[in-house]
Structure 1
Amino acid sequence: MSLDVLDLSRLQFAMTALYHFLFVPLTLGLSVLLAIMETVYVMTGRTIWRQMTKFWGALFGINFVVGVATGLVMEFQFGMNWSYYSLYVGDIFGAPLAIEGLMAFFLEATFVGLFFFGWDKLSKVGHLIATWCVAIGSNLSALWILVANGWMQNPVGAVFNPQTMRMEVANFFDVVMNPVAQAKFVHTVSAGYVTASIFVLGVSAWYLLKGRHTDLARRSMTVAASFGLAASLSVVVLGDESGYLATEHQKMKLAAIEAMWETEPAPAAFTLIGFPSQSARETQFAVRIPWVMGLIATRSLDTQIPGIEELVAQAERRIQSGIKAFDALQAIRAAGSTAAIPPAAKQVFEANGHDLGYALLLKRYVDDPRQATAAQISQAAWDTVPSVPTLFWSFRIMVGLGFFFILFLATFFVLSARRKLDHYPLLLKLAVLAIPLPWLAAELGWVVAEVGRQPWNIEGVLPTVAGVSSLGATTVLATLIGFVTIYSVLFVIEMTLMVRAIRKGPEPDDAPEAVLIPHAFAGAE
């Protein structure tokens, strides 16, 4: 398989995923903030909270529409660019995606309509229920997507069938309750809550600086600061849990994030900053904090964290084991029926089948893994090391932003409690400038998750090089350019609509509710 096709297919999926995730966090967070604001309205009867719900709901609607449009393409790419991946693991991977489409997406989309057009048609409590269903649907949608993604990181509840050459579900409950998936879900939605909170905070700060809609702005900032502070704390806690799970299930990812080339005595130090070199296989000018990494990753003082070189040596042994499994697999498939399978081949496969995916790493260099040379085996073992500098810096910038969000939101929480939100113009300007930062942190989080998984489609089971479709490089390049162009246009459209809606501000509460969305889209015409 041409590496050009592989690289282009990876780039295409990365670009569409990163574009799509520009819209997902705001949808997740704003849906819950809308439900909180409308709950206050129903409990107090004060129309300012209804006006707030409608205004932020209009921005939610713009973001939701564009997010749906960008998300649909991603699922079709599995069949288009990753056909063997879809064949190999479709029985497991397809189920969460189907549930997401049938249950979460339709639940969310149905109640989004009721939210926008049901203000005069439903009772206060009925409309509030619809709003909460929008929030629940948004989060359920994220749950099933992250169940699928979590299984790619930690493939549990499935077994390989040598007769069909496919992974099959052994225990769907294990797939759903996968600890990696559950940690990723809560971490991701919490990051969405932080994103929406800082977005609301920044827009409200702009209103205060302009002296417009100050009542709405102050109340919105109070809700956003409180909700966002709780969410930012949970992001850090759950990020720590994800690191602990990586120690168990994705040791190479953790070692690459830390640029830990050699195994250290326990407890390992944390590299605060440094300059890792993949070619030299060392980290220069490293500033290290003793014990911290060991405590975070293992919750102990005596458990070692293996370094990259030790993990590469383990990968080389697993490749050799996988070659035995591959050889036995050919004998099993040649038998034609279960009864005719040679007992020796069956025994060898049962002993080494868990390493079959490692033998497939050799497909990058040779058609038949059994014909691989020692040099090719060694190279394939080093291929299990992802881009260390990318992971090292992406992780540190993301974590740094996470701690900044805690401090930032805590400051506004204290100011809101003291009713001094408009006393510090410089802080308000900082809030406006900080609006893009949660998106940067979220995108870097996905870079860490997905680059850290390479070279695997499914961790330890199916290499990326074996999952790609047999397409021409020109075809993939053309679709890549097309998607980037269309998504860029959609992004510009969304930004234009959002800016117009923000500049226009909230509608008077006695405005006809049924035309709220058209007004938001029309801007200040």
Structure 2
Amino acid sequence: MEFDIVTLSRFQFALTALYHFLFVPLTLGLSILLAVMETVYVMTGRVIWRQMTKFWGTLFGINFVLGVATGIVMEFQFGMNWSYYSNYVGDIFGAPLAIEGLMAFFMEATFVGLFFFGWDKMSKVGHLMATYAVAIGSNFSALWILIANGWMQHPVGAEFNPDTMRMEIVSFFEVLMNHVAQARFVHTVSAGYVTASVFVLGVSAFYLLRGRFVELAKRSMTVAASFGLLASVAVVVLGDESGYLVSENQKMKMAAIEGMWETQPAPASFTLVGIPDMDERTTHFGVHIPWVMGLIGTRSLTQEIPGIAELLVENEERIRSGLIAYDALQDYRATPTGQSVDPEVAARFDEYKADMGYALLLMKYVDDPRDATEDQIIAAAWDTVPYVPVLFFAFRGMVGIGFLNVLLMAGFFYLSARRQLDTRRWPLKVAVAAMALPWIAAELGWIVAEFGRQPWAIDGVLPTVAAVSHLTVPTVLFTIAGFTAMYSVLLVIEVRMMLAAIQKGPAPDDAPERPLFAKSGPVVEKRA
């Protein structure tokens, strides 16, 4: 690693983002499962479902607290490490985050308190509504965050204002309805549902292997297998849609994921396995499946997917075009106050402004992009190629685990339907061993999404090299060390608390008789 501000700031943000995302998927998925379990309790009156809701709710609460703490730290980093980014695109990026905090997070946090402390103070239906509000708030929070992140991947509804030197919203509706953001949202929350389902499945399998809390474990596994099977299939289907959008809007990322150095005749084949080589610009020992990549990436048999070499030539031309826009911008800014901008200058800027971000890539090599040499232009074009081996293997690891999750859930759904969850020990051992897989897939997915966007902070608009704060290397190294130490302690605390709660198991629930509705008479509960 080069110890420069850009690399260290990227490393710090990656560290905190990947750590934060250890908690997000489980929060999203458990919130829905809690709502399902409590719904069954309200409909049937069987106290074991209340016991299940409270037990899994305890694990949800532990995870929720850590997710909130690490998420707040991430948002602070935009001001600490990425101040120019915050200034340049704050009008657009800040709006979804503000809405997330004011609407979704406050809603979620408020009803979490009612969920934990309102069991014997609210009616059944009232408490159930609070649980649903927690689930809606958790997923609503993810929506706004992914709208912000989706805009980074595919910036729409905004334009650069040469008078303020900032990106400004021209259509919030376009930002909100960004098809990339919507696809990322449904794919991400579905992955969270799978994570929670596998977690519940694994813990329940552990109980069955030990012969503890058998009735609770069986019911939990039935809910998890049913919900998880739907979610795991949805992840695969929605992941395919995300791949199609990447091929439309982030062609270099798609080429890097495929290790596709040269443009293939349509329809392109899918490289199942291989070893990408950045030096020789080829993928060794590739095993190809004909037509598949063409169908995934273009939904057709006639449209080509451009390779890295072709995209490099295109990006080099966009850098040259961006230099014209950058030069026009300097002339625009040099206009004395009170005078009108030369119409020729304004027209020249408007014609080439879409490529100005590419000119800013040269700031890695020179202070003024107009001073760049031919070699530096070529080097900047090469910077638009992500490190192919990382994307190539991360994507295949994510996809492989996704299909394993489908098989796992289908198997336990079958066993649940046949009432054979506790008849064989080896499937239960598989469920326990598989608990980490969804988290690995989720982290690999974020690596593909974020590492694949490099060298851009905002794709095609603002390079990462131009987005950082003016900090010193020792300052960033100090904060990295501080975050690493703090997060290590928090992780130990989290794991110990989760393990202690699992080891203890559900508490006996001597639930008092509660009315279904606040003003109705008491309804006698059935005891399981």
Which TM bucket (shorter chain)?
over 0.9
Instruction: Supply the distance in 1 between the matched residues of 2:297 and 2:310 (Cα, whole angstroms).
Output: 17
Instruction: Supply the distance in 2 between the matched residues of 1:295 and 1:257 (Cα, whole angstroms).
Output: 15
The equivalences for 1:327-366 within 5 A come to: 327-337=327-337, 339-366=339-366
Amino acid at match of 1:466: A
- Residue 297 (str. 1) matches residue 297 (str. 2): yes
Instruction: Supply the distance in 1 between the matched residues of 2:433 and 2:338 (Cα, whole angstroms).
Output: 65
Instruction: Supply the distance in 1 between the matched residues of 2:35 and 2:97 (Cα, whole angstroms).
Output: 26
Instruction: Supply the distance in 1 between the matched residues of 2:3 and 2:336 (Cα, whole angstroms).
Output: 33
Partner of 2:262: 262
Partner of 1:519: none
CA deviations over 1:176-222 (Å, ceiling 9, x no partner): 11000000000000000000000000000000000000000000000
Which blocks of at least 5 consecutive residues in structure 2 are unaligned? 514-528
Which blocks of at least 5 consecutive residues in structure 1 are unaligned? 514-525
Partner of 1:174: 174
Instruction: Supply the distance in 1 between the matched residues of 2:485 and 2:298 (Cα, whole angstroms).
Output: 45
Q: TM-score, normalised by structure 2?
A: 0.96
Amino acid at match of 1:424: R
Deviation at 1:66, TM superposition (A): 0.9
Amino acid at match of 1:403: F
Amino acid at match of 1:137: G
Instruction: Supply the distance in 2 between the matched residues of 1:179 and 1:41 (Cα, whole angstroms).
Output: 38
CA deviations over 1:219-269 (Å, ceiling 9, x no partner): 000000000000000000110000100111100000000000000110001
Instruction: Supply the distance in 1 between the matched residues of 2:204 and 2:337 (Cα, whole angstroms).
Output: 69
Instruction: Supply the distance in 1 between the matched residues of 2:76 and 2:160 (Cα, whole angstroms).
Output: 24
Deviation at 1:341, TM superposition (A): 1.1
Q: 1:336 to 1:36 in 2, by over 3 A?
A: farther
> Paired residues, what number?
512
Deviation at 1:340, TM superposition (A): 2.3
Equivalent position SS for 1:188:
helix
Q: 1:49 to 1:88 in 2, by over 3 A?
A: same
Q: TM-score, normalised by structure 1?
A: 0.96
Instruction: Supply the distance in 2 between the matched residues of 1:82 and 1:339 (Cα, whole angstroms).
Output: 34
Instruction: Supply the distance in 1 between the matched residues of 2:235 and 2:338 (Cα, whole angstroms).
Output: 50
CA deviations over 1:105-128 (Å, ceiling 9, x no partner): 000000000000000111000000
Partner of 1:164: 164
Equivalent position SS for 1:160:
strand
Instruction: Supply the distance in 2 between the matched residues of 1:453 and 1:415 (Cα, whole angstroms).
Output: 42
Instruction: Supply the distance in 1 between the matched residues of 2:230 and 2:506 (Cα, whole angstroms).
Output: 27
Deviation at 1:510, TM superposition (A): 1.3
Contact kept in structure 1, 2:325 and 2:353, CA below 8 Å:
yes
Contact kept in structure 1, 2:204 and 2:221, CA below 8 Å:
yes
Instruction: Supply the distance in 1 between the matched residues of 2:409 and 2:442 (Cα, whole angstroms).
Output: 17
Partner of 1:418: 418
Instruction: Supply the distance in 1 between the matched residues of 2:327 and 2:66 (Cα, whole angstroms).
Output: 49
Instruction: Supply the distance in 2 between the matched residues of 1:230 and 1:360 (Cα, whole angstroms).
Output: 45
Q: What RMSD, in angstroms, separates the aligned Cα atoms of the two structures?
A: 1.1
Instruction: Supply the distance in 2 between the matched residues of 1:378 and 1:337 (Cα, whole angstroms).
Output: 37
CA deviations over 1:255-312 (Å, ceiling 9, x no partner): 0000000001100010000000112111001000111100111000000000001001
The equivalences for 1:99-138 within 5 A come to: 99-138=99-138
Q: 1:338 to 1:405 in 2, by over 3 A?
A: farther
Partner of 2:45: 45
Contact kept in structure 1, 2:47 and 2:511, CA below 8 Å:
no
Amino acid at match of 2:253: K
Partner of 1:520: none
The equivalences for 1:19-418 within 5 A come to: 19-337=19-337, 339-418=339-418
Equivalent position SS for 1:335:
coil
Deviation at 1:336, TM superposition (A): 3.6
Deviation at 1:3, TM superposition (A): 6.4
Structure 1's consecutive aligned runs of 4 or more residues displaced over 3 angstroms after TM superposition are 336-339
State the identity as a percent.
71
- Residue 504 (str. 1) matches residue 504 (str. 2): yes
Deviation at 1:423, TM superposition (A): 1.2
Instruction: Supply the distance in 2 between the matched residues of 1:448 and 1:34 (Cα, whole angstroms).
Output: 31
